[in-house]
Amino acid sequence: MRKLIFLLIIILAVSPVFGDLPTKYDESNIYVNLDENGIAYENIIIKVPETIDKFNYYIIHRVKNLEIYDESNKLDCAWKYERSGTLISCKNINTKLINISFNYPDLVTQYEDYDIFSDRYIISTPTEKFNLTIYLPKGYILVDNSDKINQSPYYPIDGKQGTNGRNIFIEWSANPRLGEVYDVSILYEPALTSNQFTALIITFFVLIIMISVFLIFRKKPKLLDYGITEDEKRFLEVLSKESKISQKKISREINLSKAQVSRIAHSLEKRGLINRKRIGRNYEVSIKKN
- Condensed to tens digits (0 to 9), the pLDDT of residues 202-260 reads 777 777 877 777 776 655 445 555 578 888 888 888 888 888 889 889 888 888 888 88
Cα 89 from chain centroid (whole Å): 39
pTM exceeds 0.75: no
CATH architecture of 230-287: Orthogonal Bundle (1.10)
DSSP 220: S
pLDDT (tens digit per residue) in 48-75: 999 999 999 999 999 999 999 998 899 9
* Mean pLDDT (the chain, rounded): 84
If you average pLDDT over residues 23-47, what whole number do you get?
95
Class of domain 2-191: mainly beta
Which amino acid is located at 268 in the chain?
A: L
Model confidence at 119, in pLDDT bands (50, 70, 90)? Answer: very high
Q: Domain locations in the chain?
A: 2-191, 230-287
Q: Could you please report the per-residue DSSP string of 23-86?
A: S-EEEEEEEEEE-TTS-EEEEEEEEEEEEEEEEEEEESS--EEEEEESSSSB---EEEEETTEE
Domains 2-191 and 230-287 share a fold: no
